Each structure stands twice: as C-alpha cells, then as structure tokens.
A and B are shown apart, each in its own frame.
Chain A
C-alpha cells in the first residue's frame, strides 16, 4: 500500500492528546495543562505494523463539535469537508479516564459523522489510585468501536493504537445515536429538502456560530435560507442533543465504568485550599512571579555575557582571518552582529517559557486565572488576561497568541491591544544601557537608584497597560457574551519531555520568527551605513586626512588616546634597575611612543568611518528627521536608532554601535563611546538625565515592533487594530518623551 493513512487526533483539552501525538510520531511538541494550549496545526508521520505509514494530525482541543471559538472550528471544518486533503480516514478520540463521561460526548458526535473512530482512554495508570474499574470489552461493544487503554506517562498502550489505526478498515461506521430524535419533524423536512446530504452534517453546519470555508459557506446559505427555526429554537435543540447524548453515555457507562470513591485519593482539595487561599494564594503567586523575574534578569545574565563574548571574539576572528573587503565587512558587521543580537535573547526567552510551561503542566495556571479574575474585571480584562500580560514581559508575540483562550471577544481584544505596553525583553537592553549612562550610582534605602529605575520602568509599562485597558473598556462598544469558564485540571507532576519541548519550540519560533527581522534589519542597516552617493562619502578618506593634518584629531579621539596611555602607565612597573615584570624608563618611553602611534592610527580610521557614516544614506536619513527628534533631546544618530527600532526595539544598541563604528575592543565599549558623545551645544553629554529619561519613556510606550503588529493583524483579522496601536502608542510616546525632556532639561 503506497498511500498513507490520514489520522486525526481529537479530544478535550487536558486529556494528554499532545502527549499521545508525541509518542506516536516521535516529533515532540507542546503539551500544556492550561485549557486550549494546542492552537496550531501539528502534523507528524507514524510507522505502523506491516510497513504502513500514517499521517497524524493533532487537532486543537475541543469539548464538542458545537464550536464557539475559531480554534474549535478548525476541528469541525476538517471533519465536515471530505475534500480536504487532511480529511481523516480514521479519527482517534483521546479521552482521560477520570473524565470519561464528559469525553464521550465528543466521541459520540464524531461517531455520528460516520467516520471510523477509535477511542483512546489515556491516563490509565491513575485508575487504581482513583478507584476506577472499567470493562473494556463491554464498553467496546456498547460504543461500537475499538478501545486502546493508554498511559502516556508510562508509555503503555501506544502499540495498541498503532495496530488499531492499521486495521481501521474493520471499524464500524454506524452512528451511536439516531440524531433525528433531536427533532424528528425538523430532520424530516431537512431530509426532503436535501435528499443527498448527510443529515447530521447538515445539522452541524446549520448550528455553527463560527465561519466556515467558502465551500461550506455556500452550503450554509442554502441551508439557512431553508431554516424555519429561530436562533433560540436552534439553541434549544442543541441543548436537547446534548441531553440525548448524555442519556446514551450514562446508559453505556452504567455497567462498564465504576468509581469507588472510598478508594479515590487525590491531592486536589488540599492543594486548592492553599493555592487559592485569600492570603497564601496571592503570596505564593507573588513569590512565583518574583522568581521568574529573578531568573530572567539575574540568572540569564551569565549565559548572556558568555554569548556576547563569543560573538565579539568571532567577529574579531573573521576580520583578522579573512581578506579585507566588502564581503568580510558584511559577514562581521552585518550578519554576525545581527545573529548575535538574536542569540543574546535566547536565555531570557528560554527561562520565561520554562516557568510558564511548568505552571501550565502542573495545573497551577488555571488557579492563577481563578485568583485574578475579579481583580482584572474592572479594567475590562479577565483572569485569563494575566497569562498574556505576564508573557508580555518576555515578548509580546507569544503573549498575543496566548490570548486565544479568552472566550469573550471584547476582553480578548483589550488584552491584545494593551499587552505591548508591558516591558518586553527587547526593551531591556535599551533600558540597561541608558540607565547605566544617565542614572547616578547612589543608593536609596539600600536599593540602588539604577535598580529602582528599572523597576519603575516595569511598573510604568504594567500601569499603562492597565490604564489603557480601563479606557478601552469605556470606549469600545462591543457586545459579547460574558461566558467565562476555566477548567481546573488535576494537579500533575510535569513531564520533563513536554516542558523541554515547549522551551525548545518557543525559543525556536523566536529565533526564526523575530530573528529573521532582526537579521534583515542589521544587514540593511549595514548596507545603508556603508554606502552613500554624495561626493563627501566617496572622498571621506582624503577629507578627514587633510582635516587631521590641519586641525588635528577631534577632542574625543585625543581624550581617548590620553586615557589609554594613562592606564598603560599606571599598570606598568617602572624601575631603573632591570628586573622581572618591570621595564626601564627608556623602554617605557619607547613603548608609549609606539602605542600612541597605534592609537592615533586607530582614531584616524575611526574618524573616517564616522565621517563616512554621517554622509552615508542612513546619515542623510537621520539628518532629515533631526528636527523631529531634537525637541526630545536626541541628535540625528539617536534619531536613526529610534527609526530602526520601529522594526524591533532591540536593534537600538546595535544601531548605535554601527553608527559609532565601535570595534569589539574591550576598553572601547559602546557604553563608553555613548558617554563621550556631546550634545550639539557642546556643553553637556548627549546622553544626560533629561534626554536619557526622555528616551526611556519613548521606548516604554512606543509601538516599535513589526512582528507584534503582524501578529495582532493575524489575531484580530484586520489592519484596523494594529494600525491604531501603532499610531496611538507612538504618538503617546512622543508626547510623553517631549514633556519629560522639556521639563527636565
């Protein structure tokens, strides 16, 4: 047999569906305990007995085929569309042994679509602990299917699933329930109007709330034009369907499924008591949050420093090893610098997702939602907004994606719109360098001013998010049902594999998603910065050389050379008598002379580079926007950095490094170079308290992230919201930065 079998994995959230997928395909991916975490289409290939292959599709978790969200409609769309290339030859319904009754609702619906269906009962290892006994043979007969008892935690039963899939042709396709019993009269009329259609499919199409693909839409229109029932009547019939199904399920389970409550043991109650306690609950949540912040800022600094050094070394190595030329420059200053700017964020993102996936896997995240819901509601947010807002401190992109679990559209939209205000990790490098430059080193109550400033910036971001949510809540006139429902899953020990894979997956999606943009911008920047059309650019070398001959080096260069010589003198032992580790006076003078020459040459090269940049394409671009940024206290160089930051904030520091053409020498860090830069009046440093705070506030509020805009467009399905975000946030940032500078200067 050459064609592979199409298999769809379907199941309620929290049944371990994704774990089954991982074990079948070996292609690991995300599993969570937070309802609705599997939101994207996941595929894999599985080898079955007798050399047969199966194409496995992991569908989003859903409680039934009556969809209320887009995620769920993915499932229904596929099952209703026989022409879809992924239309399953066999459906595998994954259920959790503890919630079998509820899980069977979905099973009976799929069975009634006449798709060959296998039932997987997962978490079988918990049966004895929960006092559950099951008569699998009788259950198979009653449900007219084949059952696989599985424990993904222990790895049992996976082979049984594979065998059942391979033998899918022997499965019965008879429905479980006579669906015309929902309303015999109505179904009769449907039958007369559409004699060729499957009635249950038609019924599903008519009752769906969510949009369908074009082909299906056509059918809906035909069917709804026929519809003689009002929406309320249809809803009542849907209720009736659910009741009918539960009657069937209760009958089925009466003799086959037993729970001995005496034998059942669980930690749920005692854990819940502490974790949702009115005081301890919040204290524990706060401690967890603090630990996450500590990890992101403190623990991740070690791997980040290491990465930074490695890239600096690699850049030097390339410049020293490869022949000088455009290609080498592109490699060292464009590509390598760009990749370095991406890789540096990996530790922080990995830490954040390590914690988030641990909290989801254990079931704690749902308790956070439970704890926070009432607190968030006055702001037009829901308890489910907490996770996106926290994730937003790493990166707004996964955070916006995480809003999918919010059922209420208005709450979801507000969460999407305000999440970019939270301080994401891309703002961090900008803050860190500016704080080091402009905030004094003193202490207040034992806390350093610099740390306090950073904390304040985080609070401003979060405060702004909450405040704008409140405003949006008042302004937006969207009516949407306030259905809020969170499943509180059983507490579980996290599976190491699942956590590890989440971290890997998220980091990968950052590196290849946001990373691409950062890399592209670095290369464009490098090109714009190292090319120009003016005469001044082309003759930069001669112009600078002749200026140095007549006027000497610039003040900065002189200063720089003097400092280096001073340091050298201080560190060198001088002795009249020749001895170990010390050199004579004469040799010292010689060596200083040599050093000065080298440094002078270096300064000359640097001044040429800087002159070139000023007259490159990017230099002219920066000059042209200078009038706009001058009232904020910036010069054209900062202007360029701000401009490029509109693609992604983290390129700010990299851009300045390129503009100041800072090499990778240790003593010549970008920070020192920025500290030496003078304001155009010549009297004070360019980065002073006023301009520094103005810049930080600008970065706190401005919408400077193309990837976030793209993801908001995707999630809201319109350009309206991302454009509004871009305009409003940036205008607001400009005004705040302007006010701050004008007051402080």
Chain B
C-alpha cells in the first residue's frame, strides 16, 4: 500500500480509510482524515522529516509516522 512517505516532491494523494493502525489523535485533528488530500511540500535536506499540506494545514512529520498513513497517489495533479 502506498503511504504518505512514498509521495514525491509536489505530488498529491488522497488518504484511505484507516484499517488496523491507530494514528495519533493529533494527526487527525490537524486534518489527516480519510478522503482528505495530502500534498508533499518539501523534504528536509537529510530526507527526513517531510513537510506536507493536508486540508490546509502545513505540518512537518517524520517518515516513520508518514508510513502509517495509507493513501491513493494522484498521478495527475491537475485532476484535483
């Protein structure tokens, strides 16, 4: 399954329904909810953390956390 950690610079994806994993509640509050679009804004120089825009919130998270958020990558960003 693709996750937020798999996004490339400028790429977007739609968060999938959570299955088993229980994400930290903070992440949900900031808008990481199923159906919302995530955009990868920046990757830190050492490849970690990553800086995303989800639901209008600009946040930086570590890759380890990003791996827990499953999503469908949107191949063509202009479709959104």
Partner of B29, one of A63, A98, A269, A375: A63
Q: Is the CB of B18 within 8 A of A375?
A: no
Q: Is the CB of B26 within 8 A of A374?
A: no
Q: Is the CB of A102 within 8 A of B30?
A: yes
Q: How far is the CA of A282 from the CA of B58 in the complex (A)?
A: 21
- Provide the residues of chain A in CB contact with B33, threshold 8 Å: 242-243, 246
Q: Is the CB of B49 within 8 A of A374?
A: yes
What string of 1s and 0s marks CB contacts (under 8 Å) between A224-245 and chain B? 0000000010011011001100
B8 within 8 A of A: no
B11 within 8 A of A: no
Q: How far is the CA of A42 from the CA of B47 in the complex (A)?
A: 40
Q: How far is the CA of A281 from the CA of B41 in the complex (A)?
A: 15
- Provide the residues of chain B in CB contact with A63, threshold 8 Å: 26, 29-30
What string of 1s and 0s marks CB contacts (under 8 Å) between B45-62 and chain A? 111110100011111111
A729 to chain B, nearest CB (A): 31
Check A99/B25 contact, CB under 8 A, given A242-B33, A276-B51, A373-B48. no
CB-contacts of B16-50 with A (<8 A) = 18, 22-31, 33-34, 41-42, 44-49
10 cross-chain CB contacts under 8 A: A63-B26, A64-B29, A235-B25, A269-B41, A272-B42, A281-B45, A373-B44, A373-B62, A374-B45, A487-B30
Q: Is the CB of A102 within 8 A of B31?
A: yes
Q: How far is the CA of A490 from the CA of B28 in the complex (A)?
A: 21
Q: Is the CB of A370 within 8 A of B22?
A: no
A66 within 8 A of B: yes
- Provide the residues of chain B in CB contact with A383, threshold 8 Å: 49
Q: Is the CB of B49 within 8 A of A484?
A: yes
B43 to chain A, nearest CB (A): 9
- Provide the residues of chain A in CB contact with B57, threshold 8 Å: 99, 102, 487
B64 within 8 A of A: yes
Check A483/B29 contact, CB under 8 A, given A272-B51, A369-B60, A370-B49. no
A68 within 8 A of B: yes
A237 to chain B, nearest CB (A): 11
Q: Is the CB of B51 within 8 A of A238?
A: no
Q: Is the CB of A371 within 8 A of B44?
A: yes
Check A235/B60 contact, CB under 8 A, given A272-B51, A485-B27. no
Q: Is the CB of A483 within 8 A of B26?
A: yes
Check A370/B25 contact, CB under 8 A, given A276-B45, A489-B58. no
- Provide the residues of chain A in CB contact with B18, threshold 8 Å: 239
A307 within 8 A of B: no
B-side interface residues toward A, CB under 8 Å? 18, 22-31, 33-34, 41-42, 44-49, 51, 55-62, 64-65
A189 within 8 A of B: no
Q: Which chain A residue has the least Cβ–Cβ distance from B36?
A: A246
Q: Which chain B residue has the least Cβ–Cβ distance from A236?
A: B22
Q: How far is the CA of A189 from the CA of B42 in the complex (A)?
A: 47
- Provide the residues of chain A in CB contact with B59, threshold 8 Å: 485-488
Q: How many A-B residue pairs have CB under 8 A?
A: 112
- Provide the residues of chain B in CB contact with A321, threshold 8 Å: none
Partner of A102, one of B23, B56, B60, B62: B56
- Provide the residues of chain A in CB contact with B25, threshold 8 Å: 64, 66, 68, 235, 238-239, 242
Q: Is the CB of B46 within 8 A of A485?
A: no
A-side interface residues toward B, CB under 8 Å? 63-64, 66, 68, 98-99, 101-102, 105, 232, 235-236, 238-239, 242-243, 246, 268-269, 272-273, 276-278, 281-282, 366, 369-371, 373-375, 383, 481-490
Q: Is the CB of B42 within 8 A of A101?
A: no
- Provide the residues of chain B in CB contact with A481, threshold 8 Å: 24
Check A370/B60 contact, CB under 8 A, given A235-B25, A239-B28, A242-B28. yes
Q: How far is the CA of A564 from the CA of B47 in the complex (A)?
A: 66
B27 to chain A, nearest CB (A): 7
- Provide the residues of chain A in CB contact with B62, threshold 8 Å: 373, 482, 484
3 nearest interchain CB pairs?
A278-B45, A374-B46, A488-B58
**Most chain A C-beta atoms within 10 Å of own C-beta, residue among B34, B42, B47, B64:** B42
Partner of B60, one of A66, A483, A488: A488
Q: Which chain B residue has the least Cβ–Cβ distance from A72?
A: B26
A560 to chain B, nearest CB (A): 59
Q: Is the CB of B22 within 8 A of A374?
A: no
Q: Which chain B residue has the least Cβ–Cβ distance from A62?
A: B29
- Provide the residues of chain A in CB contact with B48, threshold 8 Å: 373-374
Q: How far is the CA of A232 from the CA of B65 in the complex (A)?
A: 18
Q: How far is the CA of A679 from the CA of B31 in the complex (A)?
A: 69
Q: Is the CB of A102 within 8 A of B64?
A: no
Q: How far is the CA of A542 from the CA of B11 in the complex (A)?
A: 89
- Provide the residues of chain B in CB contact with A373, threshold 8 Å: 44, 48-49, 60, 62
Q: Which chain B residue has the least Cβ–Cβ distance from A483?
A: B24
- Provide the residues of chain B in CB contact with A374, threshold 8 Å: 44-49
Q: Is the CB of A101 within 8 A of B60?
A: no
- Provide the residues of chain A in CB contact with B51, threshold 8 Å: 272, 276, 370, 488
- Provide the residues of chain B in CB contact with A68, threshold 8 Å: 24-26
- Provide the residues of chain A in CB contact with B64, threshold 8 Å: 482
- Provide the residues of chain B in CB contact with A485, threshold 8 Å: 24, 26-27, 30, 59-61, 65
- Provide the residues of chain B in CB contact with A243, threshold 8 Å: 28, 33-34
Partner of A486, one of B29, B42, B60: B60
Q: How far is the CA of A732 from the CA of B80 in the complex (A)?
A: 60
A234 to chain B, nearest CB (A): 10
Q: How far is the CA of A577 from the CA of B48 in the complex (A)?
A: 84
Q: How far is the CA of A121 from the CA of B18 in the complex (A)?
A: 32
A241 to chain B, nearest CB (A): 9
**Most chain B C-beta atoms within 10 Å of own C-beta, residue among A105, A269, A370, A490:** A370
A387 to chain B, nearest CB (A): 14
Q: Is the CB of B46 within 8 A of A483?
A: no
Q: How far is the CA of A483 from the CA of B31 in the complex (A)?
A: 16
Q: Is the CB of B44 within 8 A of A105?
A: no
A353 to chain B, nearest CB (A): 25
Q: Is the CB of B61 within 8 A of A98?
A: no
Q: How far is the CA of A237 from the CA of B46 in the complex (A)?
A: 37
Q: Is the CB of B45 within 8 A of A371?
A: yes
Q: How far is the CA of A101 from the CA of B31 in the complex (A)?
A: 9
Q: Which chain B residue has the least Cβ–Cβ distance from A481?
A: B24
